[in-house]
Amino acid sequence: MRDLLIRPAAFVRRELVATLRQPWLLLSLVLGPFLVLFVFGLGYSRDFPTLTTVVVGDEDSELVSRVNDFVAEAEVTGIDYVGTEPDREVALQRLRDDEVDLVVVLPPEDEVGTGERAIIEVHKRSTDPVTGAQVEVAAETAMHEINDQVVAEVLGTVQDQTATLAEDVASARDVIAQVQDAVGADDVDGLLATAETLSVRLDTLADQVGQASRIAALLGIPSSEVEESLRSASEQLASLSRTTPLEDLDELDAMLTEADDAVAALRDADPEVLVRPFDVEVVSDTPVEVTLDRFYAPGLLALMLQHVAVTFAALGLVRERRRGTADVLRVAPITTGQRLVGTTIAHLVLGAAVAAALTALIVTVFGVPVPVDWLQFVGLALLTLLASVGYGYVIASVARTDSQAVQLSMLMLLIAIFFSGLFLPLARINFPVRWVSWAMPTTHAFTGFRELMLLGESVSNFIWAGLSGLAIVLLAAARVLIPWRDSHP
Amino acid sequence: MPPPNDAAPADAATDHADRRESGGGRSGDAVVRARGVDHVFDGGRGVHDMELDIPQGSIFGLVGPSGSGKTTMVRLILGLLVPQDGSLEVFGVAPDDFSKDERERIGFLPQESALDPGLSLQHNLQFMASAYGMPWRGRWMPGKRAARARDRIDELLELLDLSDERGTRLGDASTGEQRRLGIAAAMVHDPDLLVLDEPTAGIDPLLREQLWGHFDDLREKGRTLLVTTQYVTEADECDLVGLVIDGEILRVAPPDELRHEAFGGDLVEVAGQDRLPVGDLVDVEGVVGIQRRTARGGLLLLVEDAEATTERLRTALGSQDDDTVTVSTHRPSFDDVFVRLVRAHREGDLDSPQRSSLARHRKDATDA
């Protein structure tokens, strides 16, 4: 039993002593990534860059003046509007010459209002996909804004018209009242004449409501029913005879009251609210606001743990083989298991030291919340290191030289950056490619650290199971592959 | 040179001593026995038909030029390579079946420095000691075994003249210091069989002599040493020499026997007279022929047996009465021995090198 401990302990001590004799290496392992994140946080601007924009169109056209008004009134951010250019080709050449960032080509006026949607072209030439996406979002937003303006203007016109409509409805109701008053009198001729006049007026009203039906529909007013009711009432009035009782007059009045309410609602409504009935208020449910540097801090921690463990483990074994230490150890009474256990413990200790220092820095400097459960945090870090060390050993069993080991370690780093959710959200990576993501210890660690630090939750079981599975499979593979590679250098 | 190690270095080493007493430890028993061992790499190079017995308590030298297959033979003996054919046993066990016990009885110095260049000399030794079960702990930690291990390391550093450099990083040490540390690492657990691949490469002649002195001491204490070297002259330091050429062991013999075989006899130098009677000398019984003229105007004679023929030559020359005439045994350098044996092998004439040598000498005599 004592011998079982002595030999692995020799590897632990050798690795620790060798690393401690290189204080700059340790310092760079901790300070390097921290400084990268720190400088990134200092230098990164959350605002989108301003895009120099020229509009192609006739200066005298109504569309250009509308765009000018829009730019002036809406105070569009991120757009530096530098005026209009009548010639489309000249404007596009300015885009190619990098004089402007955007060219907005308005449609000819005769294409507007034809019943088809007129197209506004937005030309960009940025190779940066983020800026490209920004342009697309800005263009969409601007188009919505202009469309809304147009709708609001139409609504305003309709509202102006509803003033007359309301007067007409009020007048019609007066007539109804007169008819009702006349029912009891003997002036049947007068009653019929009034009813006929009212019938004609209700017809006119129905026409007006019909014209405004589209707009009324926006309001949720059943304008077609109102129109139908008015016409039905008109027909009833027109068919009044001396012998027919006027039982329906109350119903007619009720219909007109309803129409009056609808018209009043249309007239009093705010066009802005009609066009944009909803506004958004985003409420974050995270314990702290997740800024960009806070988001990346746990990711950086995860990435560094993987990279340090993979590189150290791979290079350590390859160098042992290259300088002949592996042969000496094969001759000595040491098993591969003892060798791997000792080396792994050393990497865990060193990785844990790096993790502790980096965690302290990101918590104190970037204000990343402390993990809600330290035990889980330590467990997650150790498991990440273990799986990463496993990868390092597998790399060591493939690589013949130091440079091959470094190249493969760097490849692992690149895969982790692209696939772990640091670069792109994990949800945007489709299966089966997402299995590549879950094959990276960084992905599990990043997800787990975010749960513990940014969401204030426990680490999900999937992360524990995934990391444990990775560690077991990789270390078992290393146990088989390392002796084979040592005997086939 | 510091005194040889008499103290038991640690428990591991003490265990070995017990094993030496109990079995496989009688002087003269073959510690390594190989019969018809083949291991050929792609391209045809490798080891062919390796046959050797390394007696316990001897220094066995594998001598040959770089690339001749010495290291492959060492790797086969250590179990780092598996024979493709033939049988090989070390301590009576095939190397690929070595248990922990056999491994603890072997010390190995590879050709390249196999230690950690980032560690100090002392830390490297402590690591290797731990690999053989000797605890690596600081002086402030209790434990008799750890204390014995520290003593053993101090002793080896002293022995190899490395005490003053114990704190030096191995990467900053000189080539000689690195080599000496490698030897110390191979010896740290006081093994029964010490396999040293080119131990004296890159070491200055003074230190080389010291090392060979220490190897002699180890042999006196019953340890067995297998040493490879491309310094052919070091063959003289060995009890048995295996001459390795093109993956084959051409001869296994004591150095003097190889010397005799290479020249087809012994060499005697005759000097002193202005003009030596060549014809009379060739006719002396036991003289095979004239090897060559020496730089001082003398003659180098090839004789069947130097001791017997020297007296006859003195009589023939009357040197007993003439102080100016000297007749003495000449010991050719092992470089010459090596060159002759290799040349004979490559000419396909090694099985009877005497004949080719005789023919050449008779021609030389006639020319003279």
Chain A within 8 Å of B218 (Cβ-Cβ)? no
Confidence check on the interface: ipTM exceeds 0.90, yes or no: no
Can you tell me whether residue B265 is helix, strand or coil?
coil
C-alpha distances out from residue B343 to A111, A450, B234, B262, B263, Å:
102, 75, 20, 10, 12
Check CB contact of A18 with chain B, cutoff 8 Å.
yes
Q: Kindly report, residue by residue over A90-116, the tens digit of the pLDDT.
A: 999 999 998 998 888 888 877 776 767
Residues B248 and B266 in one domain: no
Residues B225 and B267 in one domain: no
Q: Quick count: other Cβ atoms within 10 Å of Cβ A5?
A: 12
Distance between B244 CA and the closest CA of chain A, angstroms: 23
**Which of A18, A327, A330 minimises the CB distance to B116?**
A18
If you measure CA to CA, which chain A residue comes closest to B136? Answer: A10
Neighbour tally for A385: CB within 10 Å: 29
In a shared domain, residues B263 and B128: no
pTM over 0.80: no
Q: B257-276, pLDDT tens digit by residue?
A: 888 888 888 888 888 766 66
- Do the beta carbons of residue B342 and residue B245 sit within 8 Å? yes
Q: Report the gap between the CA of B118 and the closest CA in chain A (Å).
A: 6
For A238-297, how does the pLDDT look when each residue is reduced to its tens digit (9 = 90+)? 776 555 545 566 766 777 777 677 677 767 777 677 667 777 787 777 888 888 888 888
Place of tokens 């129409």: A259
| Same-domain check for residues B193 and B297 | no
Across the interface, whether the CB atoms of A324 and B134 are under 8 A apart is answered no
| Residue-wise pLDDT tens digits, B114-171 | 899 989 999 999 999 999 988 877 666 667 777 888 889 999 999 888 999 999 999 9
In this structure, are strands A102-105 and A51-56 parallel, antiparallel, or unpaired?
parallel
Statement to judge: residues B246 and B270 lie in one domain: no
Instruction: Tell me if residue B248 falls in helix, strand or coil.
Output: strand
List, for residues A165-190, the tens digit of each pLDDT value.
777 777 777 777 776 676 655 666 77
Same structural domain, B178 and B301: no
| Range 149-178 of B in CB contact (< 8 A) with A | 169
CB B315 within 8 A of CB B214: no
Domain tally, chain B = 2
Per DSSP, what are the bridge partners of residue A102?
A53, A124
Three-state DSSP class for residue B189: coil
* A·B CB contacts under 8 A: 82
Q: CB of A10 within 8 Å of any CB in chain B?
A: yes
Q: Output the pLDDT for position B44.
A: 82
Task: Dump pLDDT digits (tens) for A387-433.
Answer: 999 999 999 999 999 999 999 999 999 999 999 998 888 888 888 88
Give the integer Cα–Cα distance in Å for B306 and B144: 58
Quickly count: other Cβ atoms within 10 Å of residue B76's Cβ. Answer: 27
B38 contacts chain A (CB < 8 A): no
Residue B2 within any structural domain of the chain: no
Q: Say yes or no for a CB contact (<8 Å) between A21 and B169.
A: yes
Question: Do B312 and B341 fall into the same domain?
Answer: yes
Same structural domain, B244 and B209: yes
Residue B302 φ/ψ, nearest 5 degrees: -90, 125
Confidence of residue B13 (pLDDT cuts 50, 70, 90): very low
pLDDT computed for residue B61 by the predictor:
94
Nearest to A315 by CA among A191, A207, A399, A259: A399
Contacts of A86 (CB under 8 A, 6+ apart): A56, A57, A58, A59
B128 in reach of chain A (CB within 8 A): yes
Considering only residues B84 and B67, tell me which one the structure prediction assigns the higher pLDDT: B84
> Taking CB atoms and an 8 Å cutoff, what residues of chain B touch A487?
80
Contact B131, B102 (CB under 8 A): no
Domain boundary among B228, B253, B278: B253
- Closest among A468, A469, A302, A309 to A396, alpha carbons compared: A309
The one-letter amino acid code at A465 reads: A
Q: How far is CA A301 from the centre of its chain?
A: 24
Tell me: do B113 and B192 sit in the same domain.
yes
So what's the pLDDT on residue A429?
Answer: 87
Question: For residue B135, which residues of chain A lie inside 8 Å, CB to CB?
Answer: 6
The residues, any chain, with a CB within 8 Å of residue B20's CB and separated by 6 or more, are: B192, B222
Chain-chain contact of B111 with A324 (C-beta, under 8 angstroms): yes
What is the pLDDT, as a whole number, of residue B21? 45
User: Does A6 contact B135 at a Cβ distance shorter than 8 Å?
Assistant: yes
Q: Is the pLDDT of residue A42 over 80?
A: no
Residue numbers of the domain that contains B314:
258-367
Q: Is residue B265 part of a domain?
A: yes
| Residue in A7, A17, A323 nearest the CB of B112 | A323
Distances (CA, A) of A151 to A116, A156, A276, A345, B118: 15, 9, 10, 69, 76
pLDDT band at B281 (very low <50, low <70, confident <90, very high): confident
pLDDT value at position B360? 41
What's the CATH code of the domain at B341?
Answer: 3.30.70
Say whether both B243 and B107 belong to one domain. Answer: yes
- Mapped onto helix, strand or coil, the DSSP state of residue B291 is strand
Judge whether B121 and B170 are in contact, CB under 8 Å: yes
* Residue B25: per-residue pLDDT: 42
Q: What's the rounded Cα separation, in Å, for the pair A395 and A406?
A: 9
Quick check: A23 contacting B, CB < 8 Å?
no
Q: Measured between CB atoms, does A332 come within 8 Å of chain B?
A: yes
Mutate to test the interface with A, among B80, B97, B193, B196 (most CBs of A within 10 A): B80
User: Would you list the domain boundaries of chain A?
Assistant: 2-43+289-487, 51-125, 152-275
User: In terms of domains, do B41 and B134 share one?
Assistant: yes
Q: Which residues, in sequence order, are CB contacts of A244 under 8 Å at separation 6+?
A: none
**Cβ of residue B115 closer than 8 Å to a chain A Cβ:** yes
CB A198 within 8 A of CB A237: yes
Helix, strand, coil share (%) of chain B residues, nearest 5: 40, 25, 35
User: Do residues B180 and B262 share a domain?
Assistant: no
Per-residue model confidence (pLDDT) at position A74: 66
> Which residues of chain A lie closer than 8 angstroms to B103, CB-CB?
331-333
Owner of token pair 């402590």? B126
What's the CA gap between A482 and A240, in Å, rounded? 105
